[in-house]
């Protein structure tokens, strides 16, 4: 019997979809196969119609697929990336998947775009280095990463192994110092046709747009990144701590 039976069917389905989505992203279905509708209904105290509607919503999101004779399966394994740690993708996924990098651009830029120069706190005429990489995880496209680096750090990064290493490690070697912190903003955008083609998704599909400004330990900004991440392949996670009164 449905909980909140007085609520509209569409609302009950959405609530159940929210619960199932959390379970899927937490890896509750280790083999990638969801129980049948009847069992899900018993587990969540929901009618079969509500379960069917909830599963339809998750299908529309691309999170699951449903096929007669096969059942309901998770479309793709999602990987977690912690937003509360300053780590590169390769570092984050060590032991959990194989990351490869397709270097699409790696070049010096004589004049930085004004907005980028302002974020790096250098004159536009100081120039810098532009790096664009298409990042693959276990043979499927995961993200399109673009970086503008300050000229001194960037030139050293250019001669590094951009195909097999995280940029963060190359920056630390170039600077002879550790990275300190980064400011991150994440929003959802509809992929433009070019980005969608590179990532292997439909034009207009939702992707995470992650903008990050990374600084050395002394506070100096060295790297402005714009990252487009396939939302069907990655879950962005963070542990937040509630502070005391200000």
Rounded to the nearest 10 degrees, what angle do helices 167-175 and 151-158 cross at?
120
Q: What is the per-residue pLDDT across 47-58, written as a single tens digit (0 to 9) for each?
A: 888 889 999 988
* Interatomic CA distance for residues 232 and 208, integer angstroms: 10
Q: Would the pTM count as exceeding 0.85?
A: no
How far lies 124's CA from each of 22, 71, 89, 155, in Å? 45, 56, 29, 16
Instruction: Domain 9-74: give its CATH code.
Output: 1.10.10.10
Q: Would you list the DSSP string of the chain?
A: --TTTTS-HHHHHHHHHHHHHHHHHTT-STTSBPPPHHHHHHHHT--HHHHHHHHHHHHHHTSEEEETTTEEEESS--EEEETTS---HHHHTTTT--EEEEEEEEEEESS--HHHHHHHTS-GGG-EEEEEEEEEETTEEEEEEEEEEEHHHHHHHHTS-TTTS-HHHHHHHHHTS-EEEEEEEEEEEEPPHHHHHHHTS-TT-EEEEEEEEEEETTS-EEEEEEEEEETTTEEEE---------
pLDDT in tens, 96-109: 567 889 999 999 99
Q: Quick one: fold of 80-237?
A: Chorismate lyase (3.40.1410)
Instruction: Report the pLDDT value the prediction gives residue 2, as an integer from 0 to 100.
Output: 46
Domain boundaries, the chain: 9-74, 80-237
- Tens of pLDDT, residue by residue, the chain (246 residues): 444 455 677 888 888 888 888 887 777 777 788 888 888 888 888 888 888 999 998 888 777 788 887 788 877 665 555 555 555 555 555 555 678 899 999 999 999 999 999 999 999 999 999 999 999 888 889 899 999 999 999 999 999 999 988 898 999 999 999 999 999 898 989 999 999 999 998 888 889 899 999 999 999 999 999 999 988 877 777 777 777 665
């Amino acid at each position: 019997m449905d909980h909140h039976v007085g609520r509209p069917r569409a609302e009950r389905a959405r609530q159940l979809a929210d619960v199932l989505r959390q379970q899927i992203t937490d890896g509750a279905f280790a083999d990638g196969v969801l129980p049948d509708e009847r069992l899900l209904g018993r587990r969540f105290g929901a009618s079969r119609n509500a379960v069917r509607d909830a599963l339809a919503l998750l299908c529309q999101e691309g999170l699951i697929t449903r096929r007669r004779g096969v059942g309901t399966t998770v479309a793709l394994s999602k990987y977690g990336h912690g937003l509360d740690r300053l780590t590169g993708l390769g570092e984050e996924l060590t032991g959990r998947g194989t990351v490869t990098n397709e270097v699409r651009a790696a070049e010096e830029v004589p004049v930085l775009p004004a907005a980028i120069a302002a974020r790096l706190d250098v004159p536009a005429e100081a120039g810098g280095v532009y790096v664009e990489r298409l990042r693959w995880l276990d043979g499927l496209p995961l993200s399109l990463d673009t970086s503008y680096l300050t000229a001194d750090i960037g030139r050293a990064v250019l001669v590094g192994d951009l195909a097999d290493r995280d940029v963060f490690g190359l920056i630390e070697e170039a600077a002879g110092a550790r990275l300190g912190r980064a400011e991150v903003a994440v929003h959802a955008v509809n992929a433009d046709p070019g980005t969608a083609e590179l990532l292997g998704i439909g034009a207009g599909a939702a992707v995470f747009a992650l903008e990050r400004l990374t600084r050395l330990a002394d506070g100096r900004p060295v790297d402005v990144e714009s990252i487009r991440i396939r939302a069907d392949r990655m879950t962005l996670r963070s542990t937040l701590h509630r502070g005391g009164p200000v």
